[in-house]
Amino acid sequence: MHRAWTMGKTCYLPVLDSLATNRLWFAPYREGDPLSINRFGIPEPLTARRKLRPATHLDLLIAPLVAFDTRGNRLGMGGGYYDRTLFFLNHRHHWWRPTFFGAAYEFQKIDAVDTQPWDIPMQGIITDKNLYLR
């Protein structure tokens, strides 16, 4: 994030939506901004609702993961938040925004992730040793 900030970029962190939709919104974040612990114990920005942005407004989304394969499939924590949030990407044919990447360690790579119809594949994975593009 420091590099992005030095390049004049705005960084956003995920914020949980209500229990009704279980989707993510994205709040602008600068170093030192106040954070609040969400219902899963994860810090997220304390931001006015009007400043939250949907994923469609982001250029790049980098998601955490538990495991991945080189075909762009990811295994998350099982909540489905990123898949529900990015479901609209399944209906895009000519315009893919945001670009969807995963961040992982190389040891998290597995041969194949079992996928479901609702899973949203990543366009790439960044690890401590490699960059995988699909």
pLDDT digits (tens, 9 = 90+) for 70-85: 999 999 998 899 999 9
Tokens coding 25: 């919104």
What average pLDDT does this structure show over 88-108?
87
Token output for 91: 């209906």
The DSSP 8-state label assigned to residue 91 in this structure reads G
Considering only CA atoms, which of 72, 66, 112 is closest in space to residue 96?
72
Q: Dihedrals φ, ψ of 86, to 5°?
A: -105, 15
Spatial contact of 16 and 81, defined as CB atoms under 8 Å apart: yes
Amino acid at the residue 119 = D
- Please identify which residue in the block is written with the tokens 């960059």: 131
* Residue 21: predicted pLDDT: 77
Residue 29 has pLDDT above 90, yes or no: yes
Question: Can you tell me the distance from the alpha carbon of 118 to that of 105, in angstroms, rounded to the nearest whole number?
Answer: 25
Structure tokens at 41: 């114990």
Which CATH homologous superfamily contains domain 59-134? NagB/RpiA/CoA transferase-like (3.40.50.10420)
CB 11 within 8 A of CB 5: yes
Q: Where are the domains of the chain?
A: 1-53, 59-134
Report the candidate in 37, 38, 30 with the shortest Cα–Cα distance to residue 12: 30
Q: Tell me, what's the pLDDT at 6?
A: 95
Residue 20: its pLDDT value, please? Answer: 65
Strands in 2-42 per DSSP E? 11-16, 24-29, 35-37
pLDDT band at 42 (very low <50, low <70, confident <90, very high): very high
> What is the chain's Cα-based Rg?
15
Query: pLDDT above 70 covers what percent of the chain?
Result: 95
